[in-house]
Structures are given as structure tokens and as C-alpha cells.
Amino acid sequence: MNYLFKILGTSAPRGTHKDDILIHRTPSFLFPLSVPCLLAIESSCDETAVAIICREEGRPCLLSSLISSQIEIHRDYGGVVPEVACRNHALRIRPLVQQALEDAHLSLEEIDAFAATRGPGLASSLLVGFSYAKGLAAAAGKPFYGINHMEGHLLSPFLEAGKIAPHLGLIVSGGHTLLIDVQGFGNYKLMGLTIDDAAGEAFDKVGRMLDLPYPGGPEIEKNALDGNPKAFHFPRPRLKDAPLDFSFSGLKTAVLYQLRKLENPHSQLADLCASFQAAVIDCLVKKTILAALEADHQMISLSGGVACNKALQSALGAAAEEAGMTLSLTPPELTTDNAGMIAFAGLLSSENRDADTLTIGIDPNLFLTA
């Protein structure tokens, strides 16, 4: 049985011998490669995602991009349970790969390279997608690229253009809040990060305090529409020694103390949500503009799960315009965890660096470096 087809649960072509595959177990692929079609897998947390990308007339084109969400499963727990997430990744990944190939009207043999999220993320979740993609690459004798999840987010606003312009990138997700000086693909400098809770994490935790459904971010944004952002004064933490770093734990605690003072917090839910959201956005916007000025950038990008927040988009857009800068937004379908952004990063990797060896492993704490 051909290992490639065994992984997919289908039959090998007649006449195929396993030795034809085994001799290509550890290929060496050096850039620049011509990779017309690349299949990518994302499984860093609770979303199982598969995408197929190619270049058409020099521009990236997503032939398929599928996401299987586990939000409903984890909602009862109030957050992601790693063991449950891992188990569901394992159940969903093979049919998702098959469906992605069908949607792209391709067979697995027509895929020229594979990529998967290497980190950061939950170790057990990362292992599922990373191992599966490596298995496909090993069996097919095709190049494999381990991708940094945060790099995927960082590059996602530029997928349509296909080129990475110099800019200041703000990544706002459930696990990270980062300010990155981007000079080009692979040329990054960290300018600021959160020293405690990430912005998305703060949204979820405050949402839990307010007895809102998981995930808290979208629920807070929805309730904030009917609230007064100045009803409650919540702190905007400023770090003297690191002016571009973020801290949201104090803000989260301030909300908790305010809730204890109120006799009926639910009656002021909209105002609480609006005031908390305004405090988070204020911190994000001011530090982003400051970092862009310091790095002498005329463009800002916004990416990550929290990037779909309309109030954040509006505030950052207005601040950028006032500072004479442009704002590049991530398409809505690429803001949450997805394989499209991993596929794009994989495609650029194939054109700018050597393929990874198949001995490479996951790194749950993988850092975004140049």
C-alpha cells in the first residue's frame, strides 16, 4: 500500500510499490522553488483548518480554505480544553483535507508542497496538524514548511496583494498582543508585546466576569454597541520602562472591582462592555501609532482574532489617518485562526528559504523572530 494513499484512506494506483515512496523520505529542497500548489494545515488551538494556495499570474490565489470550529464544544467549559481540542482535531483532519482537495479540483499528487503551523499554540493540538502534514510530505516526497502561527497572522493583510510592504504590524489575538516592525518577508523586529494577559484573553476573561457566553470578545463588542464608553473610567496602563509594551491584567482587575461595587451589574451591562472595550482599544491604538512613528512607517496593519472588532478598526483607522498613515486590514475570513494565512506564509517560505527537514518538531512557545 502506498503510504500517501494510506494516510488519506484511499487506494494506491495499480503498480505503485512502497519502495518508490520510501526512497524520498528525507528529501532536500533548496529555494527558490517553483511551487504552483501548496496545501497547509492549521491546528494550533481549537480550529481545524486546511487551505490550498497557488500563484495565478504571479498573485496568490486560495483555491480552497476550510475551517472546522470547536467553539460550540468548548462553550460549555468556558474556554478551550486541550485534550478535547486534540481529540476533535484527530477526528476532523482527514475529511477536511479530502474536502479541500475536492473544492480545489485537485488530487493529492498535484500538490507540490505542504505546510503546517509549528507553533506557538497548544502542544497536543499542534501535533495533530503538524504530524499529518509532515506525513503527507514524507509519503509524497514533497517539500515541507513549518510555519509560525504569528507570522501567518502578520502576513494575512497582504495575501491579496501577494507582496509584503514595509509597515508596522499590530497582532491582536487571544494569546498574543504584538507590535512588529516589518521590513519585508522574514525581516521582523519586535517593538512591543504584552507582559501579562493578551488583549483577546482580557476580553474573554471579562466576558466570563459578566456571565457572557464564550468567547467573550464578540459578546462584549455586541453589547458595547448600546453602551456609553465613558460611563466607567477604567485605567489605561502605561509602562515607564517599556512604553510600547502592553498590560491588561490591571484593567481586568479594575472591571472586577467595579462589578463588586454595583448592586445590579446586569442593568449596566452595555456601559460596562463599552467602557472596557474603549480602554483596551485606547491602549492598542496609542501604542501602535507611537511604534509606527518610532519605526518611521507610513503603513500599519491589523491582524489576529481581535482584528475583526469594528470599533478597533474604526479607532485605529482614524488615528492612522490623523498621523498621515494608511491602515491595511485583514479580510474577515482571515482574522480568526485559519489555514489560508498559513498557506500564504508557506508559499512565501518556499520562495525565500529552504524547506524544513522532516525531523523538525513543534514548538508550543515558538517566538516570531527575523
* Tens of pLDDT, residues 53-66: 999 888 999 999 99
Q: Please work out, in degrees rounded to the nearest 5, the angle formed at the alpha carbon of residue 186 by the alpha carbons of 53 and 244.
A: 120
Looking at residue 20, its pLDDT comes to: 33
In tens, the pLDDT along 27-48 reads 456 655 556 899 999 999 999 9
**Cross-strand bridge partners of residue 181:** 168, 189
Please, which pLDDT band fits residue 238 given cuts at 50, 70 and 90?
confident
Using N-to-C axis directions, what is the helix angle for 199-209 and 216-224, rounded to 10°?
A: 70
Give the class (CATH, top level) of 3-156+336-352: alpha beta
Distance CA 337, CA 121 (A): 11
The whole-model pTM stands at: 0.90
In tens, the pLDDT along 61-119 reads 999 999 999 999 999 888 899 999 999 999 999 999 999 999 999 999 999 999 999 99
Please, which pLDDT band fits residue 237 given cuts at 50, 70 and 90?
confident
Using N-to-C axis directions, what is the helix angle for 249-261 and 199-209, rounded to 10°?
A: 20
Average pLDDT, integer, range 129-155: 98
- Do 305 and 203 contact (CB within 8 A), yes or no? no
How many C-beta atoms surround the C-beta of residue 163 within 10 A?
11
Question: Residue written as cell 474536502?
Answer: 99
More confident site: 236 or 16: 236
Superfamily of structural domain 166-330: ATPase, nucleotide binding domain (3.30.420.40)
Boundaries of CATH 3.30.420.40 in the chain?
3-156+336-352, 166-330
Per-chain mean pLDDT for the chain: 91
Distance CA 179, CA 205 (A): 22
Distance CA 144, CA 296 (A): 36
Question: Residue written as cell 492549521?
Answer: 42
